[in-house]
């Protein structure tokens, strides 16, 4: 609002449009949170998370391989969904599996957030890139080429965080 006022573009009509869009976004987020709570309650009552954790534990795969599969799933979800929606809908299902595999929940939270953020700029469906393209009026191809060094750097960082959990856990362990 301050920027719009500074640019002398703030009037009653633009304010009402901004408030309406904010209301739509807020309602969408609240319905996602409400749906996630109902979904989480259903999962708790049906013991799906316990069954899933037991099934994955019985596969006999290495924990790092299972974590790689989970992170690839979060990367793909980041193509299509907002990060808050991803976390609200998936963490109640995935966290019991991750803790059963022996991974730290704080470490998992950091790695998942970084992975989902990378998914939001990764081609072909990086949601944030589409938003930037709309407002800058730049071609999508140019923006995706520009963002690829960032994506590769973050994938390297994710690999380092997975291989060396102490990079994430050092600071929390000092508290």
Q: Residue 99 pLDDT more than 80?
A: yes
pLDDT of residue 76: 82
pLDDT of residue 52: 72
Q: DSSP H helical segments within the chain, as ranges?
A: 2-6, 12-46, 48-57, 63-80, 83-100, 105-119, 127-136, 140-163, 166-173
Q: Give backbone dihedrals phi and psi of 52, rounded to 5 degrees, phi first.
A: -65, -45
At residue 101, the 3 state secondary structure works out as coil
**Where along the chain do its domains lie?**
1-46, 53-173
Residue 109 CB coordination number (10 Å)? 15
To the question of pTM greater than 0.75 for the whole model, the response is no
Return d(Cα 24, Cα 59) in angstroms, integer: 43
**Measured distance between the N- and C-terminal CA atoms of the chain, rounded to whole angstroms:** 39
Average pLDDT over residues 170-175: 80
Residue 145 has which token pair? 């080429």
Q: Name the residue with higher pLDDT: 120 or 106.
A: 106
Confidence of residue 100 (pLDDT cuts 50, 70, 90): confident
Confidence of residue 74 (pLDDT cuts 50, 70, 90): confident
123 close to 144: Cβ distance less than 8 angstroms: yes
Return d(Cα 147, Cα 164) in angstroms, integer: 26
For the residues of 113-124, what is the DSSP string, one character each?
Answer: HHHHHHHTTSTT
Q: Residue 1 pLDDT more than 80?
A: no
């Amino acid at each position: 609002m301050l920027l719009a006022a500074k640019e002398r573009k703030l009037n009653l009509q633009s304010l009402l449009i901004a408030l309406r869009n904010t209301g739509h976004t807020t309602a969408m987020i609240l319905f996602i949170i409400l749906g996630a709570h109902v979904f989480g309650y259903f999962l708790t009552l049906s013991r799906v998370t316990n069954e899933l954790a037991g099934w994955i534990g019985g596969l006999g795969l290495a924990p790092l391989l299972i974590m790689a599969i989970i992170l690839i799933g979060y990367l793909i979800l980041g193509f299509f969904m907002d990060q808050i929606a991803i976390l609200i809908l998936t963490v109640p299902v995935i966290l019991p599996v991750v803790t059963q595999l022996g991974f730290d929940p704080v470490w998992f939270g950091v790695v998942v957030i970084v992975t989902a953020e990378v998914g939001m700029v990764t081609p072909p469906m990086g949601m944030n890139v589409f938003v930037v393209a709309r407002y800058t009026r730049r071609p999508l191809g140019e923006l995706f080429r520009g963002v690829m060094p960032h994506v590769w750097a973050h994938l390297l960082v994710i690999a380092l965080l997975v291989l060396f959990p102490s990079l994430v856990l050092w600071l929390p362990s000092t508290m």
